Amino acid sequence: MSLIDYFAMNIVPMMYRGKGALHPCETGQLTDMVSCIREYDVNIFFIKKNDTFIAIDAGYKNYNSFADECRKINVDPSKVQAMFLTHADPDHAGGLDVGQKNYFTNADVYVGNVEENYLTNTYHRKKIGPFGMKNSVSIKSGYHLLKDGEIIFIGDLKIQSFLVPGHTLGHLVYIINDEMLFTGDSIALNDEGGWCFFDIFNYDSGLNIRSLKTFKRRSEMDHIRYVFTSHNGFTDDVKGAFRHIDTIPDWKKKGFVFDKTAPYDCFAMNNC
């Protein structure tokens, strides 16, 4: 097991146990067009309009209950036409790793042109003391690279990518059909609104804050109806989702609980 995989599956659950930091949506239908499955602390989102079917992120490597979760919402991942990755971390791109079974067999894969540096291990994902963690995900060649602000159309869906670096240097957020924003790991959401994502996971939290402010200025926020985060659910309070983006939640503070409704341990599935 690589260092980053060990960190994600063993260290993070211990560090955040009881902190209320991770509270993804349960597997189910979220809006008329959006459904999701939950893998531990993260969501994979599916967007369907008429005959067009796409997904945002691919979840963990070798998640044993993936097929069961898909059946709960009557989703066949082999019918996903396009997969859009917010970033290349193993809990977001692991489902496409060449070392595991690929359920998204017919999906064209899209990833940011800067984020590709993590797939090629040109960039270190993060340094902790003397240790440099490199990404552990390898995906099949033939994926498509997206630029900041690029717009593509797939069937009845318009997808626009925006570069919001900070969590990773190539992190993308997506606006779909001008009304659905998928923020990946750039925003942490609770009942007080949205915050800069948790510092321990970010490459550069200061950059994340600046990027969110820039994104808010340059995008047409008035048209957005829903904001979907990868680890903290979704909201139709779009202004609230950006209320605290200049603040990093202090998870080390004594008695800190980010979301009092979150499970004590998101990795213990029967506790959620």
- Do the Cβ atoms of 143 and 93 come closer than 8 Å? no
Q: What residue type is 174 in one-letter code? A: Y
Q: Does an H or E element contain 217, and which?
A: helix 205-218
**Angular region, 224: left φ>0, alpha ψ -120 to 50, beta rest:** beta
Rounded Cα gap, residues 41 and 38, in angstroms: 7
Per-residue model confidence (pLDDT) at position 271: 44
φ and ψ at residue 69, rounded to 5 degrees: -65, -40
Per-residue model confidence (pLDDT) at position 269: 60
Per residue in 207-260, pLDDT (tens digit) is: 999 999 999 999 888 899 999 999 999 999 999 999 999 999 998 888 999 999
Tokens of 48: 């369907």
Nearest to 160 by CA among 146, 145, 170: 146
Nearest to 244 by CA among 191, 165, 185: 191
For every one of its 272 residues, what pLDDT tens digit does the chain have, with 9 covering 90 and above? 787 888 888 888 888 899 999 999 999 999 999 999 999 999 999 999 999 999 999 999 989 999 999 999 999 999 999 999 999 999 999 999 999 999 999 999 999 999 999 999 999 898 777 777 889 999 999 999 999 999 999 999 999 999 999 999 999 999 999 999 999 999 999 999 999 999 989 999 999 999 999 999 998 888 999 999 999 999 999 999 999 999 999 988 889 999 999 999 988 764 44
| pTM attached to this predicted model | 0.96
Tell me how many domains the chain contains.
Answer: 1
Q: How many CB atoms lie within 10 A of CB 82?
A: 22
Per-residue model confidence (pLDDT) at position 4: 84
- Cα→Cα distances 94→40, 153, 205, Å: 13, 25, 23
Q: Which domain holds residue 139?
A: 3-271
Per-residue model confidence (pLDDT) at position 23: 96
Per-residue model confidence (pLDDT) at position 220: 85
- Which CATH number does the domain housing residue 223 bear? 3.60.15.10
Residues facing 11 on adjacent strands: none
DSSP 122-136: -S-SEEETTEEEPP-
